[in-house]
Amino acid sequence: MKRSISRLHVSLRLLPVAVFAATGFQGAASAETCAAFKWSVAADLTLMAAPEAVTVASGGAIASVPSKAIQLQLEPSPGIKFPAASGIKKQAIPQNSFSGWFKIDAIAKPGLYQITIPDHSWIDVVQNDELVQSTAFSGDPECKTLRKSVQFELGSGPVIVQIGGSAEKTMKLTVREADKK
């Protein structure tokens, strides 16, 4: 009996190690809080940690705001042609960076939306053929998963999201309704 209890004790002590080994670093990423953001990015962290994402090529479209992260395939910045003039000067985008855009065919519910990305790339939103001014910006340079979140007041209808100046050829990002304050 004593031997069984001893084995159980050792097994229970090793359980956290086994769980970490089985989940890898995703468990560690989901524990990240990114507390320096002005608003909660907990939902964005969860979406980014999930293995599933909606994949879209630059210039492509998705039907609506997804309940998953978006994996955007970018192109070399010098060759990108945005649907609308960007809010950042062209010379501010590094030549060796990547940029891209995609369309969301329908914002069903007007309101405050946020786009959250893993780096300092430029984010533009276009609706009704005009750039939408952001209502708020936040970031956390210490957050490893997310670096920047920008909020926009959007009406119903189609929207174009333009990303400029990423160091990576693909970008996993989130687009979602902002949390109520």
List the CATH number of the domain containing 59: 2.60.120
If asked whether residues 90 and 15 sit together in one domain, one would say no
pLDDT of residue 138: 97
Q: In 3D, which of 30, 99, 108, 26 has the Cα closest to residue 66? A: 108
Partnered with residue 175 across adjacent β-strands are 115
Please give the tally of structural domains in the chain.
2
If asked whether residues 53 and 108 sit together in one domain, one would say yes
pLDDT of residue 10: 44
If asked whether residues 42 and 107 sit together in one domain, one would say yes
If asked whether residues 108 and 150 sit together in one domain, one would say yes
pLDDT of residue 91: 86
If asked whether residues 14 and 51 sit together in one domain, one would say no
If asked whether residues 156 and 172 sit together in one domain, one would say yes
pLDDT tens string, the chain, 181 residues long: the values are: 555 555 544 444 444 434 333 444 444 444 587 999 999 999 999 999 999 999 999 999 999 999 999 999 999 999 999 999 999 988 899 999 999 999 999 999 999 999 999 999 999 999 999 999 999 999 999 999 999 999 999 999 999 999 999 999 999 999 999 998 6
pLDDT of residue 180: 84
pTM to 2 decimal places: 0.82
If asked whether residues 124 and 142 sit together in one domain, one would say yes
Token digits of residue 66: 């997804």
Q: Which structural domain range is residue 72 located in?
A: 35-177
If asked whether residues 13 and 82 sit together in one domain, one would say no
If asked whether residues 85 and 8 sit together in one domain, one would say no
Torsion angles phi and psi, residue 30, rounded to 5: -70, -20
If asked whether residues 26 and 98 sit together in one domain, one would say no
Q: Both ends of the chain: CA-CA distance in Å? A: 56
If asked whether residues 102 and 83 sit together in one domain, one would say yes
The strand ranges marked E within 86-133 are 98-107, 111-117, 122-127, 130-131
If asked whether residues 10 and 68 sit together in one domain, one would say no
Please report, for residues 4, 54, 72, 104, 113, the alpha-carbon distance to residue 60 in angstroms, rounded to integers and kept in the order given.
Answer: 60, 12, 9, 9, 20
Partnered with residue 53 across adjacent β-strands are 69
Token digits of residue 111: 């309101």
